[in-house]
A and B are shown apart, each in its own frame.
Chain A
């Protein structure tokens, strides 16, 4: 069974940093592209970042470019999102989602339960 479990969210002050993690199981992690998608309270879905299976390509939304870094450790079946210089508008539930292939498939054939990041002083 495919499982994605996010962790690392919490309350952080503006300008602070967090590292989100996504532990994957039930599939060959190293052969799938992965994504981060966020959802601010009461708002819609917003794509944040994607990485191909081998990390050869990484993509970022303009709203997070230069502040967020996506990475993965295929040996540990884990996806990460380093988020720096946090702003109030980064407050959201952050979802880890699997691609149905190595970036050419569908974003999000499986999703984690999300981890909440709250930016507040």
Chain B
């Protein structure tokens, strides 16, 4: 059971906009920034969004993040086939004194 809660799956067709939610507590998302990672099958994870809504250099602006209270969301607009991957949220937890991850959301592009 992961500390952060994500839906196990999501799907969309090319060109669509999809969102993935991440729910936490006051000790993590409620008080700390959220990061998002993309993991394509068989590869290492890649940082997609940091500090709730910032994109590292090279990440397309189709990817955006937001946070409100103890929840966060990742939005992908103009869905492309190469976006098919697992997506994870993460945040520092001040009670656990460690990083916590969501269980991951498998995104399928139909």
Q: Which residues of A contact B (CB under 8 A)?
A: 35, 37, 44-47, 50, 59-62, 95, 97, 100, 105-109, 111-114
Mark out the residues of chain B between 39 and 65 whose CB falls within 8 Å of any chain A CB in the assembled complex. Answer: 39, 44-47, 50-51, 56
Contacting pair B50 A112 (CB below 8 A): no
Rounded to whole angstroms, the CA-CA distance of A32 and B31 in the bound complex is: 23
The verdict on A106 contacting B35 (CB below 8 Å), with A44-B104, A47-B101, A61-B98 known, is: yes
Which B residues contact A (CB, under 8 angstroms)? 2, 33, 35, 37, 39, 44-47, 50-51, 56, 86, 88, 90, 96-104
A62 engages B96 (CB within 8 Å): yes
Determine the chain A residues whose CB is within 8 A of the CB of B96 once the complex forms.
62
Give chain A residues whose Cβ lies under 8 Å from the Cβ of B104.
44-45
**Smallest beta-carbon distance B109→chain A, Å:** 20
A44-B88, A59-B97, A111-B44 as given contacts; A100 in contact with B103, CB under 8 Å = no
Supposing A107-B35, A108-B35, A109-B56 touch, asked if A45 and B45 sit within 8 A by C-beta, the answer is yes
Question: Could you say which of B33, B37, B50, B51 contacts A45, with CB atoms under 8 Å apart?
Answer: B37
A109 to B35, CA, bound (A): 10
CB distance from A42 to the nearest CB of B (A): 11
Q: Is the CB of B44 within 8 A of A107?
A: no
Give A61 to B2 CA distance when docked, in angstroms.
Answer: 13
